[in-house]
Structure 1
């Protein structure tokens, strides 16, 4: 299954609950599968999707980012209600990045 980059972006006005639910559905995952892949408790995923949790700790942020195959910045922005327009084009400094390792914020150069 191929998911375009545009499908990964949060929609305008989308809440964290709606975004996580939509991304999970795009992969055909159950909440239990998402929880397992993200290294979270099932109840935590349920609370996020019900809108009872709107802040993510660093572990949840990293786990959801990996499991849903989206940038952690997208999850942070949608949880704060911030538009994503400024994060749409990312470039990686090739001299700073080691292949096989997920690029950190320090080596991502954001084009605005």
Structure 2
């Protein structure tokens, strides 16, 4: 994301590697027992029609480059989403679960 003010095509190889790793994570999370919420979150992060990871990269690819301000705002949103996911994975308590579910529901 830090390179999004540079042409997408110049970063395509690295981006492809990133999404290959994300696909592996999605598949891994899909096959873990009692893991529906985490799996839903990874699906959301990987959804090109949503405003998180895959959506950001789709916009970058479509536009060629994105502005620094758009990139910075997107990073904040994506980092918040990852923070909620990490907190849920660490704690597995009601509050972290509710916060993650709220984010999922707001984006579906």
Q: Do they fold alike, i.e. is TM over 0.5?
A: no
More helix by share: 2
More strand by share: 1
